[in-house]
Amino acid sequence: MTDTAKKEHKRQLKALELREQEISVAKAEIDLEIRLLDRVRHNHQHGLLLDSNTGTFRLEDAVYSEVLSLGTAMQRWGDAHPGAPLTLYIFSPGGSVLHGLALYDTLRTLSREGHEITTVIRGFAGSMASVLFLAGDVRKIGAESIIHQHEPSSMAYGKLSEMTDANEFVKTLFEKITRIYVDRTSMTRTTFRKKTVGKEWHAEAAEALALGLATEIA
């Protein structure tokens, strides 16, 4: 192969590599757009707002980043309807404590702004979802529904100091959850810890009512 042919061959290879990079970037952009469209479609099909007239919302998924959108939708609805009551239906296995605390704070803020918050469990409220249930001023649980709570888990790994810091943070989160339960129910700290430390606690409607988790069975 002559030098000229070699140069041409290298030029063609370089052009091909650039083209492959362009295709890769375009594919990544298309994938991102598809994911965004899927989320929009999901929010449309499984709308956060059930009834714009009564301010009825729902949480029917795990507690992760989507609840931030739910909190924003609630806050906007509350701003547009000063003092109007707001209802949140819950069917959720729980999830991220930090995402859940963001929504919990939003609900309690709306309550302090004059909105009566009603939370309703239909089926199951597990872990962080049960904490969100406690954000309601009025808390209704279906007769056959169940509340679940347990110790938070840590996924810490790495150096001993890093795992120690992570475990201390998990203890802080569990302390927050404990305080919410004690403040928002008739349970003492001792009672709550006995039911959840090293255990999986499942409370049916009657127990939830007796311990002040729910204000009524409905």
Residue 47: phi and psi, rounded to 5, are: -50, 140
3-state secondary structure of 139: strand
Distance CA 6, CA 12 (A): 10
- Per the residue annotation, which of 92, 99, 127, 145 is the catalytic one? 127
Compute CA 131 distance to the chain's CA centroid, rounded to the nearest angstrom.
Answer: 11
Structure tokens, 73: 């939708």
- Which H or E run includes 49? strand 49-51
Whether 127 sits among the annotated catalytic residues: the reply is yes
Q: Are the CB atoms for 213 and 147 separated by under 8 Å? A: yes
* Closest C-alpha to 87, from 54, 113, 44: 54
Determine whether 150 is an active site residue.
Answer: yes
User: What is residue 151's three-state secondary structure?
Assistant: coil
Cα separation, 194 vs 111, whole angstroms? 30
Given a contact cutoff of 8 angstroms between Cβ atoms, the answer to whether 85 and 114 are in contact is no
Question: Catalytic residue among 150, 161, 186, 202, which?
Answer: 150
The answer to whether the CB of 173 falls within 8 A of the CB of 196 is: no
215 Cβ neighbours under 8 A, 6+ residues apart: 136, 138, 139, 140, 209
**Residues belonging to the active site:** 127, 150
